Structure 1
Amino acid sequence: MDNTTSTDSPRRLKKAAPACEKCRVLKVRCIRHEEGQPCTKCARSNSECVVSEPRQRARVSQRAKPRLADLESKLANIISLLSHPSAPISGGVQPPVDLDCGLAAIPEYLSDSPNPSAEWMNQLYMASAELDEGLESSENHNTIENTLEKSWDTSTAIDAAWITDLGLGPVVLEHLLDRFRGMASYYPFVRLSSGWNAASMAEDRPFLLLAVAAAASSNYCHLQDALIQKFKESLSQRVLIAGEKDLDLLQGLLVHLAWFHFHFVPGSQQTYQYLQIGISMVIDLRLDQEAADLLEQRTELGDNYIREACRAYLGCYYMSSIISMSSGKPNNLQFHEAMLRCAMMLQQQPEFDTDLLMYPVTKVLQFAEEICETYRFEGIHGARLYIHAERFTTRLEEWWSSLSTDLRNTVLLINGYHAVKIRIQEMGLVYCYGQRRPPPPKAQDEFTMLSTPPMIISNLVKCVSSTKEFLDFFFTIPAAQHGCLWDSQKYLNGTGRLHSNL
């Protein structure tokens, strides 16, 4: 009996301390420097640190032991299949091995194969869920150490409880991270460092990890629906109830907005509401005021936080401009010269290839904002509309010609070029910018197609032609990559403009 007690005591010391009620609700890591003292989060907020008594685990019956052994055998078989060179996963090609978790990574699903191997993801997902269900009724920690020790520490699960709630294994999460990295060129404002993996992000960036997993799981609709639901629950708990604000939340929200078409409901105002939350975070984190100062103080972007903050600042402006232009609603994060300085610094000291896109993308958004403001002050019945359209078209073509060939071949800039070209030629007749001021009834009666100046009709015909060019380009994108494209509403807006003008 004494021997048993002496061998069990070290194991008890390794068990993670229970989280307090506040950290458990917020699903964040509960850190105590000394036993009996409040955690760091409660200490900062001067709130009471309450730890509930842990519930006693039910003992494992003799009938449950064979089931646990069977589940371990299933998981071992899946790992061996993924690791074996002859496994029929991607045409006989051996998948790369992830040294961090010791498991063979799931191969890239964005291959030339029209039918991705979804059954491998589902089989691993179901096996992980069954394993978690069986372990919940067990007090035998040897099983936990054998199955999860190679992926991440069990205390990390406190920071991202949705991982265990959905039964996601490390192989699945690493695959989703790799797939999101392949989607970065379509929305380069949130990038994942090469040193980040599922374990490190679950500890440091749990909300961003959740948003990335939801955006990258478009091939698995049921899993994506569950992840989106977890995203909304976490957003409401941390932002609306607890009032938290940090870069992790802002980046996760931007990723969610960028690929909002996966859960878009026609007629819903949720996109604009989420955007306002992101803008408020930019203001509360003082990114709009301190970004330029930080860049001027540090000529080299050695601080990763500054790089990520600059990208998030520009990314929020990007989403605000696009959503306001497509919906006709006010843009509450308008252009500022500090944005161009941030973009220029990222372009001059790039960490990723996509940092080279920051300046031209910001420049074309500034140009689009100038167009909208000009048409708003001119009015939809202004006599100089076609003159403005010709002037803006000339400036756009000159700017486009000044870009390098590599930049002109990027999907993001091609989209921006065509969208602004359409925006110029519709001359504010399709969308009203800012406060809607309809013309008086007499002007409406007198305004007919026969009274429309020929130059305006000519520009509208050009608008239809430009929309066709835009759609022709969209159809050249392989269908397998459509799930990687950010917010399809932008493409739908082009089609809607075509029908409106017709």
Structure 2
Amino acid sequence: MIGLPHQSAAGDSTPSHSIITMEAREGRIGNAFACERCRKHKVRCVPSEAAGICQRCQKARVDCIEHVARRRPAKPRAVVQQTNKVAEMEKRIEKLHAIVTSTTAPSVASSTPSSTLPPVATIPSQSVELSRRTSTPAPIIPSATPLPIVKTPILPNPGSTPESALSFWESMNDAVTGLGRLDPVIRSISIIHMQSLLETYRSMTEFFPFVLLPRECFCGDLIQQRPIFLFAVLTAASFDSSQLQVSLSREFRKVVMVKIMNGEKSLDLLQGLLVFIAWHHHYMDVNAASVHLLLQICVGIAGELGLDNISSHSRSPVQKDDVWHREAKRAYLGCYYLASSLSLLESGRTRSMSHSSTLQMFARDIADAWEHRSDAIVPILVDMCQFMEDVEDTFGDHSEPALVTKAQLKRLSEKWDHMQSATKAQANDYRTLRWIQLVARTHLYKATASLDIYDRDSIPWVSGFQLSQRITCLRCVEQFLDYSLQLSSTEYERLSITDWLALVAGLTTLAKLALHTSPMPGWDPVELQISKSFEYFRDQLSAQMPRLHESQDLGEDLFERFRRITAIMKMAVKAAPGRSSPNGSTFELATGSGRTVSLLQELPPLKPNGVSNGSDPLPVPWKVSPQFDISSQEFLWKFLTGSI
């Protein structure tokens, strides 16, 4: 029998309870049964040479008091395991009951007894105990008052009167009366699935911070107050399921068009359309209304609601706008952001909204309120859009004198440098801000590189100036694409339509510089290795972008379309004139003038069995199919729709 380390078993005269405690401690090791003083000081209790006292108590000349542990008797393991299994089974049953109750409408539950849970008594191990806690749901008789069911909610309470998912889809179905019923696929979305899609959308708003969810937002609140906005959020956030997203987008168009034709104009409808447009590249449809038409509808609704006339007086930090005014200002800024960004991709298109002092005031009010984390970058995004409009207005004529071009370029480049240095801290935290800064800089040098300076023949330095602008444009595009490679696979899915179009436009600009640039002294795409840069960025982007989530045959998604079209562009860039020898051989010689000649050019091409060895150049893609002309302004939209 072993006691404390400093107690001897031979001369022990302790009472019977001490013997019991020592027997209970038999077999224990370590410092679990230190004396009271050592336990209080949390130090190791080391026995001394004297019996019944430890070294620390002996040194301090105090009594060494044994610590008596107060432990409850351990339950048998079999009972513990059985109790855990019972508790786990109860939780599963309660969760199943909550799901069935939340996804079943009251009208359906009253007429369909089979929608309730199976009897709990079917589980043998729980039949006696659970019958006292939860009775088997029976068919509800209209004349009788049903007993309230107490269940553990698996989601936060969405409100005092939560609506079911089925009732929400029934209300949407009533909106399209006469156009058929809603797709059965979307009617399977439950409240739980909706809440999950809301959280996904919350992470997407970094790339479009103009229509945001409240901090504590539940499906029940949106079903009652903002149903169209909820419909759009579910559509944009369901990119994990291609079939579901296509079905949602198709039904959303029907619901929205019916409401517009009925003359409805509300902030809920405006916000829903903005969300639908912001991620429209995931569900582009050639036969449906275009993005520009939807955007024109948004601008019209904003004008009818008078969002441009919302008062924006200076207020103290305590006196703030109400929620509706802040949401309305964000929506109006979202209209401008989309209109400004999309119009810059087509130089000939008229902007539906232009920068104004009202927009600047609204952006400043949003930043001052700082209701959400992304509100701080809203004024910077508006300033960047105004900068790109300034570039377009300055060099929009595509023909300027040399001195004016140089002076305007200096002004705009200094303006960009100032904006970039003033927002360096925010750009490190928000990818959207850094993204649009690089897009704005690329837009500036792309505009100057494409200018036609009509007095270049009379001024000797103009040729060198144009060459430097073209090379700077090339380096800006490469810097932007290199930044794009830093995105994760999930971030590509959350890019807004403006960011995605900027990515496609950057890669297309690189291909244009390799294929469609006019001759210029000192400009040689081969020596600059533009084709290799295009291949590198195209291959890296294609590898990082996500793959299809589903194995079903639903056609190509956004990223498969990107891989297919850029693969054709890659072939075209490889076949650019002067890139390599006719046979693709390494027997080449670069002359001093920059030309490359083949050492085998005097030999006749080999044709075994009458078949050419590949010396004949492949036809250019845009000569075979005119739709693949990357120099046309409609190429980007054809890229998105997949009509190439």
Identity %: 21
Q: 1:350 to 1:203 in 2, by over 3 A?
A: same
The amino acid that maps onto 1:194 is: R
In 2, are the aligned partners of 1:380 and 1:429 still within 8 Å (CA)? Answer: no
Counterpart position of 2:80 = none
Query: Equivalent of 2:112, from 138, 148, 151?
Result: 138
Q: How does 1:379-398 map to 2 (within 5 A)?
A: 379-380=398-399, 382-383=401-402, 384-398=404-418
TM-superposition CA deviations, 1:404-444 (whole Å, max 9, x none): 413344111111111110111012665x9xxxxxx9xxx8x
The amino acid that maps onto 1:454 is: G
**Are positions 1:256 and 2:268 aligned together?**
no
Counterpart position of 2:247 = 226
In 2, are the aligned partners of 1:259 and 1:486 still within 8 Å (CA)? Answer: yes
Counterpart position of 1:274 = 294
TM-aligned CA deviation for residue 214 of structure 1: 0.8
In 1, are the aligned partners of 2:449 and 2:466 still within 8 Å (CA)? Answer: no
TM-aligned CA deviation for residue 146 of structure 1: 7.4
**Are positions 1:286 and 2:306 aligned together?**
yes
Which structure has the larger Rg? 2
Counterpart position of 1:208 = 229
The amino acid that maps onto 2:481 is: L
**Are positions 1:178 and 2:199 aligned together?**
yes
TM-superposition CA deviations, 1:92-143 (whole Å, max 9, x none): xxxxxxxxx967xxxxxxxxxxxxxxxxxxxx9xx979x9998697386589
Query: Equivalent of 2:320, from 267, 289, 301?
Result: 301
Counterpart position of 1:484 = 494
Counterpart position of 1:321 = 340
Counterpart position of 1:68 = none
In 2, are the aligned partners of 1:425 and 1:462 still within 8 Å (CA)? Answer: yes
**Are positions 1:242 and 2:262 aligned together?**
yes
2-structure distance, mates of 1:313, 1:168:
31
2-structure distance, mates of 1:324, 1:148:
53
* Aligned CA-pair RMSD: 3.9
2-structure distance, mates of 1:223, 1:179:
15
**Are positions 1:497 and 2:509 aligned together?**
yes
**Are positions 1:198 and 2:214 aligned together?**
no
Q: 1:159 to 1:200 in 2, by over 3 A?
A: farther
Q: 1:498 to 1:265 in 2, by over 3 A?
A: farther
TM-superposition CA deviations, 1:377-412 (whole Å, max 9, x none): x43454333442233112201211112413344111
Counterpart position of 1:338 = 358
The amino acid that maps onto 2:354 is: Q
In 1, are the aligned partners of 2:233 and 2:275 still within 8 Å (CA)? Answer: yes
In 2, are the aligned partners of 1:343 and 1:359 still within 8 Å (CA)? Answer: yes
**Are positions 1:454 and 2:464 aligned together?**
yes
In 2, are the aligned partners of 1:386 and 1:427 still within 8 Å (CA)? Answer: no
Counterpart position of 1:399 = 419
Q: 1:198 to 1:276 in 2, by over 3 A?
A: same
In 1, are the aligned partners of 2:449 and 2:469 still within 8 Å (CA)? Answer: no
Q: How does 1:62-141 map to 2 (within 5 A)?
A: 80=92, 138=112
The amino acid that maps onto 1:500 is: K
2-structure distance, mates of 1:82, 1:333:
53
2-structure distance, mates of 1:82, 1:371:
62
In 2, are the aligned partners of 1:176 and 1:217 still within 8 Å (CA)? Answer: yes
Q: 1:454 to 1:178 in 2, by over 3 A?
A: same
TM-aligned CA deviation for residue 255 of structure 1: 0.8
The amino acid that maps onto 1:219 is: D
Gaps of 5+ in 2: 1-87, 114-138, 174-181, 515-644
TM-superposition CA deviations, 1:1-29 (whole Å, max 9, x none): xxxxxxxxxxxxxxxxxxxxxxxxxxxxx
The amino acid that maps onto 1:246 is: S
The amino acid that maps onto 1:138 is: T
In 2, are the aligned partners of 1:389 and 1:427 still within 8 Å (CA)? Answer: no
Between Structure 1 and Structure 2, how many residues are aligned? 370
Counterpart position of 1:371 = 391
Q: 1:407 to 1:320 in 2, by over 3 A?
A: same
Q: 1:458 to 1:303 in 2, by over 3 A?
A: same
Name the SS of the counterpart of 2:188 in structure 1: coil
TM-superposition CA deviations, 1:117-172 (whole Å, max 9, x none): xxxxxxx9xx979x999869738658999799977335655544469852211110
Name the SS of the counterpart of 1:334 in structure 2: coil
The amino acid that maps onto 2:340 is: S
In 1, are the aligned partners of 2:208 and 2:496 still within 8 Å (CA)? Answer: yes
Name the SS of the counterpart of 1:327 in structure 2: coil
In 2, are the aligned partners of 1:215 and 1:259 still within 8 Å (CA)? Answer: yes
Q: TM-score, normalised by structure 1?
A: 0.65
2-structure distance, mates of 1:213, 1:397:
39
Name the SS of the counterpart of 1:195 in structure 2: coil
TM-aligned CA deviation for residue 310 of structure 1: 0.8
In 1, are the aligned partners of 2:239 and 2:282 still within 8 Å (CA)? Answer: yes
The amino acid that maps onto 2:334 is: G
1-structure distance, mates of 2:255, 2:141:
31
2-structure distance, mates of 1:208, 1:330:
28
Name the SS of the counterpart of 1:400 in structure 2: helix
In 1, are the aligned partners of 2:239 and 2:245 still within 8 Å (CA)? Answer: yes
**Are positions 1:466 and 2:476 aligned together?**
yes
Out of 342-351 and 141-150, give the one that drifted further: 141-150
Q: 1:408 to 1:385 in 2, by over 3 A?
A: farther
TM-aligned CA deviation for residue 496 of structure 1: 1.7
